Amino acid sequence: MITAGSLLVVLFGGYTGFWYHSVSGIEKGLERWANNYREKGSQVSLGHPTVSGFPFIVRIHFENVDLAGRENSWRWIAPQIVASARPWNLKMISIKAPGIHTVKGFKNTRILQLEEANAHFEYRSGKVKTGAMRLAGIKLTSPFSGSVKAQSLVVEIKTDTKIQTKTNISQNNMALTIDIRDVSIPKAWGLGFKDKISRLFVSALVMGDVRFSKKLPDALNRWREGGGSIDINTLGLDWEPLSLRANGTLALDKTLQPQGAMSVEIEGLEPTLRALIEAGFLDARTAFAAKFANRTFSVGTSKVRLPLSVQKQRLYIGPVPVQRLGQIKWK
């Protein structure tokens, strides 16, 4: 009994030391991360984190998180963030961050209210390998565009996805899935549609090595020169009277403007065109081309399949240019 008791004491003491050693490693890692960003000109304030969860969880509670970019180009203030992991597997991290978040940037301030905010990430070699985020009870308020509400938003990513190409195996890719439900928007955004988007979802594969840098145009140009593209497996939008499903490939041209081709299946095209014309979004010429395409590519039902492409800032239905697109200015 004495031997068994002594062994339990040794094991418990060893595990206790292991738990506190894990906490110390996390705290040092956070400090290195914060110092690294501060050296680049960013601002990082994590308040005074508190640690709990012994013996089976390492849980760190952050209050009043305040992050800002160089020269205060953007700023994010969070009410609280709780990160947790198992001490024997610190590479699997769970995060909860409900409450009111303040995001400053693009010359205005947005308030983001979240009833639920959960995320799970797996890190390997300092990179996120898999990640999943779910937000619920979302309300985004902007001083210029009013409030946008959504029932839920789910985002899933998986990096280093291997793809067999004609010449080799490409693995610097990222699988991405986004699904957002029941989005209530201001009437000014409606374009004649209903003021609620039932669902918007996309499943895509981002090909190429995506690396962030101080200047977004530099990062995008590096990605483009490396053969970067986005293969859209499924793109869906349910926004009465429109129901849309699409797939295709998008990339960037030398001026960093979108280009690509897609196959689109649309239901409710005629009432959609009427709504867009009444809202002044489409001119008569573009609407006529779309109606002609509707009758040409109709599959005999209320659905129509259209071949769409974007080249040199023009939208084409088949070979016919129907709309000139504005230039995207990356900053």
Look at residue 188 and tell me if it is in a domain. Answer: no
Answer yes or no: do 140 and 214 share one domain. Answer: no
The boundaries of the domain holding residue 155 are 1-159
Instruction: Tell me which of 5 and 99 has the higher pLDDT.
Output: 99
Among the listed ranges 189-203, 210-224, 248-262, 283-297, which one has the minimum average pLDDT value? Answer: 283-297
Q: Which of 82, 79, 153 is nearest to 111 (CA)?
A: 79
Look at residue 173 and tell me if it is in a domain. Answer: no
Look at residue 304 and tell me if it is in a domain. Answer: yes
Residue recorded with tokens 């890692």? 29
> What are the tens digits of pLDDT across the range 126-165?
678 899 999 999 999 987 777 899 999 999 999 876 665 5
- Categorize the per-residue pLDDT at 12 as very low, low, confident or very high, splitting at 50, 70 and 90: low
Look at residue 164 and tell me if it is in a domain. Answer: no
Can you give the C-alpha Rg of the chain in angstroms? 25
Token representation of residue 317:
């239905």
Answer yes or no: do 222 and 130 share one domain. Answer: no
Q: Which of 140, 166, 134, 171 is nearest to 153 (CA)?
A: 134
Q: CA 193 to CA 187: how far, in whole Å?
A: 9
Q: Which of 111, 131, 159 is the last residue of a domain?
A: 159
Q: CA 261 to CA 250: how far, in whole Å?
A: 7
Position 8 scores a pLDDT of 64
Look at residue 220 and tell me if it is in a domain. Answer: yes
Answer yes or no: do 148 and 6 share one domain. Answer: yes
Helix, strand, coil percentages, rounded to 5, for the chain = 25, 50, 25
Look at residue 150 and tell me if it is in a domain. Answer: yes
Answer yes or no: do 91 and 201 share one domain. Answer: no
Q: CA 322 to CA 289: how far, in whole Å?
A: 7
Q: Which of 3-12, 210-219, 225-234 has the highest mean pLDDT?
A: 225-234
Answer yes or no: do 243 and 138 share one domain. Answer: no
Answer yes or no: do 211 and 114 share one domain. Answer: no
Among the listed ranges 198-202, 208-212, 222-226, 267-271, which one has the minimum average pLDDT value? Answer: 208-212
Q: Which of 101, 135, 159 is the last residue of a domain?
A: 159
Look at residue 142 and tell me if it is in a domain. Answer: yes
Domain count, the chain: 2
- Categorize the per-residue pLDDT at 294 as very low, low, confident or very high, splitting at 50, 70 and 90: low
Question: 248 with 315: CB under 8 angstroms?
Answer: no
pTM, whole model, 2 decimals? 0.83
Answer yes or no: do 21 and 147 share one domain. Answer: yes
Answer yes or no: do 126 and 42 share one domain. Answer: yes
Answer yes or no: do 129 and 227 share one domain. Answer: no
Answer yes or no: do 15 and 147 share one domain. Answer: yes
Cα–Cα–Cα angle for 30, 32, 37, rounded to 5 degrees = 95
Look at residue 210 and tell me if it is in a domain. Answer: yes
Q: Which of 137, 159, 181 is the last residue of a domain?
A: 159
